[in-house]
Homo-oligomer: A and B are copies of this chain.
Amino acid sequence: MSDTASYARTPRTVPTRYRDRAVWEKEAVNAVLDAGYLCHLGFVRDGAPVVLPTIYARVGERLYVHGSTGSRPMRGAADDQGMAVCVTVTLVDGLVLAKSAFNHSVNYRSVVAHGTAYQVTDAEELTVALDALVDQAVPGRSADVRPANARERAATAVVRLDLDEVSAKVRAAGAGDEEEDLDLPYWAGVVPVTQVFGAPEPAPHTTVPLPAYLRG
């Protein structure tokens, strides 16, 4: 892989534990980000950490994270100097049950991105970001809604985080039992975990048929 195909490794993106699970290839990082829509946004307030769930979208090598103009993290990011953040996306794929309690694990894909977030103020970029936020969870949806009007745009804060100091971690394997535990009379294996989208439930005021992008 050439350098441009991977995110640079920094002290913050080289994990102290399970280094073999870490990946910096942009393709792998982006694949995890594209499979999710919910992130956990971390920031520091009065010296203490705060972690809030919110939605995000990836556009190229940039993350957009959704908020409201009145909310605490967004007020911080509105500052010219931006706000130090950590954006983490985690997808669980399975519970890994080993014969020993110690070797129990979770199959997962996660991305941790560090950096400085800035509030999106450019009108054109805000439009791109808002569409991307809608399409991240439901691809195609942004073309089939009433777009935000001026009042709504003013009430929505979106912050931008350039993907620069970022890494993914992936565990996708069976139970890693010790040699001496293999014959113990306990069940070992993986319980798959998936996120399932159920049949869409139309609102009473919906009169149009289910759009193609919501089928299947």
Give the residues from 116 to 163 in chain A that come closer than 8 angstroms, CB to CB, to chain B. Answer: 130-131, 134, 137-138, 141-142, 144-149, 152, 155-156
* Docked pose: A145 CA to B105 CA in angstroms: 13
- Whether A146 touches B106, Cβ cut-off 8 Å, given contacts A48-B114, A174-B203, is no
CB proximity of A188 to chain B, nearest CB, Å = 4
1/0 contact string of A163-179 vs chain B (CB within 8 Å): 00000000000110100
Identical subunits present: 2
* Chain B residues whose C-beta falls within 8 Å of the C-beta of A50 in the assembled complex: 12, 42, 49, 86, 112, 114
Q: Are B68 and A17 in contact (CB under 8 A)?
A: yes
* Docked pose: A175 CA to B90 CA in angstroms: 26
Q: Are B88 and A53 in contact (CB under 8 A)?
A: yes
